[in-house]
Amino acid sequence: MSARLARLALAFYPLAYRRRYGEEMAALVEDVGTSPAAVADLLRGAARAHLRPPPGMGQELGPEDRLRLGLSSILLCWVVFSVAGIALYKTTEDHAFTTAAGAHGLLGAAHLAVQLLALVATAAVALGATPLIVIALRQARDRRAVERATVLATGCVLLFVLATAALVVVANLRPAHGDVDAAAGLAIWTGVALACGIGCAVAGRLGLFAITVPRDILRASAACALVVVLGMVGIALATAVCLVALLHDAPGLAGQGNGPLELVSVAASLGIQLAVMLAVAAPAALSATRAWRRPAAG
Amino acid sequence: MRYISERSTDPGLLVLASLADGPKHGYAITQDVEVVAGVKLGPGTLYGALSRLERRGLIEALPSEDRRRPYRITAAGSAALEEQLRMLDRVVDAGMRRLRAAGATS
């Protein structure tokens, strides 16, 4: 069990680190034997390698690998960001919010900006991912690793579709269901959707490093990822403006309960969604910078 | 003045000291450090130290023997190790003298 955990812990190291030291570390782990303390030490080492990477470690990766790494990291960030985005959509879909947005210019403009930027970013995700998916499907027959990634991604998409269909069917069959049931259903769907999204992102990462992609297509996809990152930053800023405008122009609505159980107010919901967006947009921007930047010498 | 690690069991210092008498691979370093200093370096800590020392040019990797790559100390590494050990020696010397003096007066 510890041996498997140790191998898993090694997988948490940055790609450049694993390329350079992975084999040696695996050999050392086999030599010293695995124990919970060794696994904990590996996990601490992985965290340090991410937070304070040794200088010049980026040079271990070629430009195309850095683009692949950036693409897969941004995809994962987009998945988590989308959950906050869907929550924002649910928070602001009520008639009361639409009315307030119509009455107050800044609130309406910020809300419209969120929606437009979400459309642009979603289109960029589709545009950037489609050629890579087509290539992966073509190469899946000949390459085991690509096939595994394709099966994982397909399974996650199917599970997401089933969960969404189940949510819709249950909501329509039981229109008079209680708030607790609605909240539980939504919470389960959100969990499944997040797991499916992370599964797709993991599959994307596995597939990206297993397929052969023409450089131009990879760079075009990376350019789309850059648009996605700008979209995420823009949506987060527009959400912040939305929150400020809501508190200033419609304090009554801001204080109203939100969601099936109304555990938090509309303003608090927006605040939580904004915090998640910022927390995800920051690493996405960092990934984009690392993907496109030429590594410093030394 | 350059600062060194706040801990006397700085993994980088232990690794440099271990490599001072010749090249070693990861497992041999951990064994040697355990015997000499009584400290067990975990795999994450050891490779954290090795990667930093290598990037700073204080050690260098030798051609790999299967999956176990040996490392050797460089001239810069030897100089850095000597400087740190001399400094620690002064600290140990002063500390022991003061402890003895304090023991004599109490």
Residue A140, SS3? coil
Angle (CA) A249 A236 A51, round 5°: 140
Interface predicted TM-score (ipTM): 0.84
Share of chain A above pLDDT 90, in %: 45
Which residues, in sequence order, are CB contacts of A46 under 8 Å at separation 6+? A9, A10, A12, A13, B44
User: How many C-beta atoms lie closer than 10 Å to residue B78's C-beta?
Assistant: 14
Report the residue from A24, A40, A46 with minimal CB separation from B69: A24
Return the pLDDT at A232: 96
Report the residue from A37, A44, A55 with minimal CB separation from B55: A55
Contact state of A28 with B27 under an 8 Å Cβ cutoff: yes
The string of pLDDT tens digits covering residues A225-255 is: 999 999 999 999 999 999 999 999 888 888 8
Contact state of A21 with B50 under an 8 Å Cβ cutoff: yes
Residues of B in contact with A54 (CB under 8 A): 51-52, 54-55
Q: Tell me the pLDDT band of A119, cut-offs 50, 70 and 90.
A: very high
For every residue of B58-89, DSSP letters joined together read SEEEPPPBTTB--EEE-HHHHHHHHHHHHHHH
Read off the pLDDT of each residue in A186-190 and give the average, rounded to a whole number.
86
pLDDT above 60 (res A41): yes
Q: Scan for tokens 């405008």, then name that residue.
A: A245
User: Which of B15, B25, B67, B71 best tests the A interface by mutation, with the highest count of A CBs <10 A?
Assistant: B67
Q: Nearest residue of A to residue B57 by CA position?
A: A298
Contact state of B26 with A37 under an 8 Å Cβ cutoff: no
User: Which of A12, A19, A21, A39 best tests the B interface by mutation, with the highest count of B CBs <10 A?
Assistant: A21
Residues of A in contact with B25 (CB under 8 A): 24
Contact state of A31 with B46 under an 8 Å Cβ cutoff: no
Q: Tell me the pLDDT band of A294, cut-offs 50, 70 and 90.
A: low
The string of pLDDT tens digits covering residues A166-186 is: 888 877 776 555 667 777 888
pLDDT above 60 (res B1): no
pLDDT above 60 (res A298): no
Contact present, A45 and B42 (Cβ < 8 Å):
yes
- Range from A6-15, A115-124, A194-203 that averages highest in pLDDT: A115-124
A179 reaches B (C-beta below 8 A) = no
A24 reaches B (C-beta below 8 A) = yes
Return the pLDDT at B2: 45
> What tokens appear for A144 in the block?
């085991």
The string of pLDDT tens digits covering residues A57-114 is: 777 788 888 889 899 999 999 999 998 998 899 888 888 888 888 888 899 999 999 9
Residues of A in contact with B27 (CB under 8 A): 27-28, 31-32
pTM (predicted TM-score)? 0.71
Read off the pLDDT of each residue in A145-161 and give the average, rounded to a whole number.
93
Return the pLDDT at A175: 59
Share of chain A above pLDDT 70, in %: 94
Q: Nearest residue of B to residue A25 by CA position?
A: B43
Residue A276 CA to residue A259 CA, distance in Å, equals 17
Contact present, B24 and B41 (Cβ < 8 Å):
no
